[in-house]
Structure 1
Amino acid sequence: VPNWVTYPFILSGWVYAFAAFGWEGLGWSLLGTVVGLLLLMPAYAIGGMGAGDVKLLAGVGAWILFQHTVNSFCVSAIIGALMAVAMVVARRAWKKHQDQFWLILNEIMVIKSPERLAEIAAERKPRMLLLPYGIPIAIGTIGYFLWMGMLV
């Protein structure tokens, strides 16, 4: 997700929170931004996610405040998992990706250096089936709002 989308998204969330709820609202919005960053930062640190996806969830946090950011993230993670499974099944590559999943999980458990994990991920990336995670974030956030009855 490009910076020209994510930065205005984050900033406009802060401006809205301040305009609608004053300093307290801005504080909650800033906290939501930090929560959004922290939720995806580990995946980014080891090369499993792009910076734009991390900033997109930070923008979600800026708008919906921290109270709903974690829930929105959980729904987004479920959507992302379903999309990933659908992509693998559509390519008829279940065994390959199952082996890859266990290899990556093992690397995370054994290799404690985020820098080394990021290097390994960068080497593997050209051969992998990639899911643009901004899509599950958007669908998951909208889905969460629909589920909670928060969309008119």
Structure 2
Amino acid sequence: MLNAIEVILICLVTQAALTDLAMRKIPNVLVLSGLLLALLLHLLSGPPWAPLSQWLAGILAGFFLFLPLYLLRGMAAGDVKLMAMVGGFTGPWLALHIAALSYLIGGVMALLMLLASGRWRDSARNLWQICKPLLLRLLGVPLQPVPLAPAASVGSIPYGVAIALGTAGMLAWTHH
């Protein structure tokens, strides 16, 4: 049986997923409201150190678990902020599990969308362009620094959906 904090979190990530599907954007007001609500709920339901140990550590875990993909331009800032909010509710350990499941779900979504759109060749070309210098360097080939040419985007996925599914799936898993 889900507790009140988890039900509220499911409602928030569901709203984020629906908004992301409709507008390809996760509103900052939703994330900020969720962060403040998570803090308030932790203050009311736990020991005095709960906000620091669960809320803040969860936010930092959620944020830093998704930051690398944002820096590689693989997801939008709203997705990173949403995962930080999820961490604020769940704490760092569960945020790690939710992020891992969300990555898996997002990867499957991306593959399905690439196959459906027929842009998988463009995606493979972009991946090769990113990986080629690294592979050559690993083989010992000296390389001159060259700025990476911007690759044409092959589309975007509503990653808020992956985060919502990952959150709901992991919460359900913890209660089975």
**TM interval, short-chain normalised:** 0.7 to 0.9
Alpha-carbon spacing, 1:5–1:124, altered in 2? closer, same or farther (3 Å)? farther
**Match status 1:30 vs 2:65:** no
Amino acid of the structure 1 residue aligned with 2:129:
L
For residues 83 and 108 of structure 1, the distance between their equivalents in structure 2, rounded to whole angstroms, comes to 27
Deviation at 1:48, TM superposition (A): 2.5
**Match status 1:5 vs 2:30:** yes
**Match status 1:134 vs 2:168:** no
In the other structure, the counterpart of 1:14 is 39
Alpha-carbon spacing, 1:107–1:76, altered in 2? closer, same or farther (3 Å)? farther
Q: Secondary structure at the match of 1:23?
A: coil
Structure having the larger proportion of residues in helix: 1
Deviation at 1:80, TM superposition (A): 0.3
Deviation at 1:134, TM superposition (A): 1.3
Task: Calculate the aligned-residue CA RMSD, in Å.
Answer: 2.2
For residues 32 and 101 of structure 2, the distance between their equivalents in structure 1, rounded to whole angstroms, comes to 23
For residues 4 and 137 of structure 1, the distance between their equivalents in structure 2, rounded to whole angstroms, comes to 17
Range that drifts further, 69-78 or 99-108: 99-108
Contact 2:119–2:154 (CA<8 Å) still a contact in 1? Answer: no
Q: Which runs of 5+ in 1 are unaligned?
A: 111-115
Amino acid of the structure 1 residue aligned with 2:119:
A
Range that drifts further, 35-44 or 93-102: 93-102
Instruction: Please give the TM-score of this superposition, normalised by the length of structure 1.
Output: 0.81
Q: Secondary structure at the match of 1:80?
A: helix
Instruction: Please give the TM-score of this superposition, normalised by the length of structure 2.
Output: 0.71
Deviation at 1:5, TM superposition (A): 0.9
Cα deviations by residue, 1:29-49 (Å, 9 ceiling, x for unpaired): 110001011111122223322
Seq. identity, %: 29
Amino acid of the structure 2 residue aligned with 1:132:
P
Q: Which runs of 5+ in 2 are unaligned?
A: 1-25, 138-146
For residues 69 and 128 of structure 2, the distance between their equivalents in structure 1, rounded to whole angstroms, comes to 16
Deviation at 1:106, TM superposition (A): 4.3
- Larger-gyration structure (1/2): 2
In the other structure, the counterpart of 2:82 is 56
Q: Secondary structure at the match of 2:48?
A: helix
Q: Secondary structure at the match of 1:79?
A: helix
Range that drifts further, 42-51 or 58-67: 42-51
Amino acid of the structure 2 residue aligned with 1:87:
M
